[in-house]
């Protein structure tokens, strides 16, 4: 039987894949919370709240293990552009973002109730979307890859290749900033693999130098 050391408060396949680079045995427990943005809530307040609430909700039922939670949003022209609710919403979102720059924020929370430990980080990246054609957009929409993704896209999608470039953390745009996650885990007493950078590049194509940036 696996002895888990951590709980990931997420059902995201991308977050599971990214956290798997750390060689820490973990189990997933998606948080059942209301993710509706409050009327008077700024994008940053919103992403902070969701990350914290996800962690708290899962920690309440898994108090024997540390809980890692995160939330990622796309902020464009002062508004939150979340996960598209349907195909029409995905088309509207990606049509609005194309050829323009938006910001991706991820809030990370690590709760360890057994040791009264609460750690947090916020990470920001800027993404410059390319001016993809209507035909390219439709082909991507037909694949269904837009589902369950903030902003309706995956930066690493080789076929669509939605982004012209970015600044900041590439892994943040994927959904879990690896450098900051490593820092939180280290502070909580976890050992971080010395080959994390090489593994991230080999397995996921993520260039990891903790000052990531470049062309997507």
Interval 65-112: pLDDT, tens: 999 999 999 999 999 998 899 999 999 999 999 999 999 999 999 999
208 in Cβ contact with 177 (< 8 Å): no
pLDDT tens by residue, 6-50: 999 998 899 999 999 999 999 999 998 999 999 999 999 999 999
Q: Per-residue pLDDT for 214 more than 60?
A: no
Q: Which residues are catalytic?
A: 71
122 touches 105 (CB < 8 A): yes
Domain-by-domain residue ranges, the chain?
6-207
What is the reported pLDDT for 111?
A: 95
Task: List, for residues 138-183, the tens digit of each pLDDT value.
Answer: 999 999 999 989 999 999 898 999 999 999 999 999 999 999 999 9
Residue 1, pLDDT > 80, answer no
| Averaged pLDDT, 126-133 | 97
pLDDT, residue 145, reads 92
Distances (CA, A) of 19 to 8, 12, 102, 138, 149: 9, 11, 25, 32, 17
- Say whether domain 6-207 belongs to CATH 3.90.950.10: yes
Residue 3's pLDDT band, with cuts at 50, 70 and 90, is confident
Cβ neighbours around 142 below 10 Å, total:
9
Residue 208 pLDDT greater than 80, yes or no: no
pTM: 0.91
pLDDT exceeds 50 at position 216: no
pLDDT at 205: 79
Residues 34 and 37: their CA atoms lie apart, in Å, by 9
Burial of residue 4, with CB atoms counted within 10 A of its CB: 0-12 exposed, 13-18 middle, 19 or more buried? middle
């Amino acid at each position: 039987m696996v002895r888990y050391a951590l709980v990931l408060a997420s059902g995201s396949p991308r977050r599971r894949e990214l956290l798997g680079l750390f060689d820490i045995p973990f189990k997933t427990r998606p948080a059942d919370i209301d993710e509706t943005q409050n009327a008077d809530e700024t994008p940053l307040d919103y992403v902070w709240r969701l990350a914290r609430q996800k962690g708290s909700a899962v920690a309440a039922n898994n108090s024997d293990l540390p809980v890692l939670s995160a939330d990622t949003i796309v902020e464009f022209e002062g508004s939150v552009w979340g996960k598209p609710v349907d195909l029409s919403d995905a088309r509207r979102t990606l049509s609005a973002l194309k050829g323009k720059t938006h910001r991706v924020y991820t809030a990370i929370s690590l709760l360890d109730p057994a040791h009264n430990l609460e750690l947090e980080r916020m990470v920001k990246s800027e993404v410059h979307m390319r001016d993809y054609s209507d035909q390219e957009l439709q082909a991507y929409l037909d694949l269904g890859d837009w589902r369950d993704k903030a902003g309706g896209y995956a930066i690493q999608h080789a076929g669509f290749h939605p982004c012209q470039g970015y600044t900041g953390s590439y892994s943040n745009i994927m959904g879990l900033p690896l450098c900051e996650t490593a820092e939180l885990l280290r502070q909580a007493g976890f050992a971080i693999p010395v080959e994390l950078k090489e593994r991230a590049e080999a397995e996921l194509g993520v260039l990891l130098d903790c000052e990531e940036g470049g062309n997507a």
